[in-house]
Amino acid sequence: MKIKPLPPLNSLVAFESAARHLSFTQAALELSVTQGAVSRQIRHLEEYLGRSLFVRDKRQLSLTQTGAEYYDSVQQSLLLISSATGAIVQWQGNQQLTVVTSNAMASLWLLPRLPEFQDLHPDIDVRILATDSLLGLRSSEFDVALFYCRTPPAGLVATPLFSEKVFPVCSPAFLERNRTSGAEAEGQSTEDILGTTQLWLDSGEDWLNWSQWFSAAGIAPQEPRRRLNLNNYAMLVQAALNGQGIALGWEQLVADYLQSGLLVRPVAMELNTTARFYMLEPQEPMRRKPGVEQFRHWLLQCVGECEAIEAPTETSGNW
């Protein structure tokens, strides 16, 4: 049976990268091609589909509703192809380590730190599979998994890495723009700031949403003047970096952006979550590869260093 309709596969790769970064420039760098090549691939795909996938603005790039829905399906399909290909080319060797984690954990926490592990253990090849759902996670597919959840899945060895604090974050430009529009900054309340443009994460997992955050913080829910929904946390953070609104930031995932000043906290309130980031491992001891123990030791050392760098802030509650 012929599979159709099937779009040009190169254009799908370009689209997935551009949608994940919300940037043709970043996609071009990732794929080692020119920005023009990425733009042509996206335009080719849009012509094939007969629908626009991106809203092109001089200041920012965003996905249309069709684009956001298509991105989720395309990314999952490419991940399946990547997984199948990896199995065929024997990624499961003793010196090859498979780490399954969420897109947010992979792009915002693990990947920036991974070069350190590779420098320490150049003989270990790391394979990262990103998925935003714990459902269907099978121990035969990975050596180590990193996920945020309230209750770890049964049948796996779960090591708590760190709990999380959740608080609003936005770009300095967004905060300045909204401070100077309407009320004066010194007379502006928390509700005024948080009622501007809210970035919402559409997820069926254990991620805290704005309604739950307001409730736990003891603040009347603020109906935003504008609302932008995204189904990927890394894209949500990118939208905040682009100055498109205020997002809920998970402390460990946005720490690097806060330290660099690319993101700021518009209000001091934060919540301690009952969910945690866990390291999950298969129970069968015979499956442990030589590289797993090295990765485990390095990971726990990274967590210890992260938890040591905490500035005192106002805590408004728990969730």
Query: Is the pLDDT confidence value at 108 over 80?
Result: yes
Q: Which of 85, 111, 130 is the last residue of a domain?
A: 85
Same domain flag for 66 and 151: no
What residues does 54 pair with on adjacent strands?
Answer: 63
| Residue 4 belongs to a domain | no
Same domain flag for 208 and 233: yes
Give the dihedral sign, CA 239/134/124/162: positive
Q: Which of 85, 103, 121 is the last residue of a domain?
A: 85
Question: 81 or 290: which carries more pLDDT confidence?
Answer: 81
Query: Is the pLDDT confidence value at 306 over 70?
Result: no
Query: Is the pLDDT confidence value at 284 over 80?
Result: no
Same domain flag for 147 and 169: no
Average pLDDT over residues 258-265: 94
C-alpha 59/C-alpha 316 separation (Å) is: 35
| Residue 2 belongs to a domain | no
Query: Is the pLDDT confidence value at 205 over 70?
Result: no
Question: 301 or 93: which carries more pLDDT confidence?
Answer: 301
Q: Which of 28, 63, 85 is the last residue of a domain?
A: 85
Amino acid at 21: H
Task: Label residue 187 by pLDDT band (50, 70, 90).
Answer: very low
Query: Is the pLDDT confidence value at 155 over 90?
Result: no
Query: Is the pLDDT confidence value at 110 over 60?
Result: yes
Query: Is the pLDDT confidence value at 269 over 80?
Result: yes
Same domain flag for 132 and 257: no
Average pLDDT over residues 223-241: 88
| Cα Rg of the chain, angstroms | 21
Question: 40: domain CATH number?
Answer: 1.10.10.10
Question: 127: domain CATH number?
Answer: 3.40.190.10
What are the backbone angles phi and psi of residue 313, rounded to the nearest 5°? Answer: -140, 165
Task: Label residue 309 by pLDDT band (50, 70, 90).
Answer: very low
Same domain flag for 153 and 171: no
Split into its structural domains, the chain has a count of 3
Same domain flag for 231 and 288: no
Asked if residue 200 lies in contact with residue 210, where contact means CB atoms within 8 angstroms, the answer is: yes
Lowest mean pLDDT among 26-40, 182-196, 202-216, 232-246: 182-196
Asked if residue 280 lies in contact with residue 147, where contact means CB atoms within 8 angstroms, the answer is: yes
Q: What is residue 314's predicted lDDT score, i.e. its pLDDT?
A: 35
| Residue 3 belongs to a domain | no
Query: Is the pLDDT confidence value at 14 over 90?
Result: yes
| Residue 78 belongs to a domain | yes
Q: What is residue 207's predicted lDDT score, i.e. its pLDDT?
A: 79
Other C-beta atoms lying within 10 Å of the C-beta of residue 9? 10
Looking at the chain, the whole-number percentage of residues with pLDDT higher than 70 is 83
Same domain flag for 147 and 65: no
Query: Is the pLDDT confidence value at 227 over 60?
Result: yes
Q: Where do the H-state alpha helices sit in the chain?
A: 9-21, 24-31, 35-49, 65-88, 103-105, 111-120, 172-179, 190-194, 210-217, 233-241, 251-260, 290-308
Lowest mean pLDDT among 13-22, 135-144, 190-199: 135-144
Among residues 257, 236, 250, the alpha carbon closest in space to that of 162 is found at: 250
Average pLDDT over residues 119-146: 81
C-alpha 306/C-alpha 303 separation (Å) is: 5
| Residue 255 belongs to a domain | yes
Lowest mean pLDDT among 87-101, 129-143, 168-182, 245-259: 87-101
Q: What is residue 291's predicted lDDT score, i.e. its pLDDT?
A: 84
3-state secondary structure of 223: coil
Query: Is the pLDDT confidence value at 72 over 50?
Result: yes
Query: Is the pLDDT confidence value at 286 over 80?
Result: no
| Residue 1 belongs to a domain | no
Structural domain for 143, as ranges: 93-162+277-308
Average pLDDT over residues 165-181: 85
Same domain flag for 170 and 155: no
| Residue 106 belongs to a domain | yes
Same domain flag for 171 and 253: yes
The mean predicted confidence, pLDDT, of the chain is 82
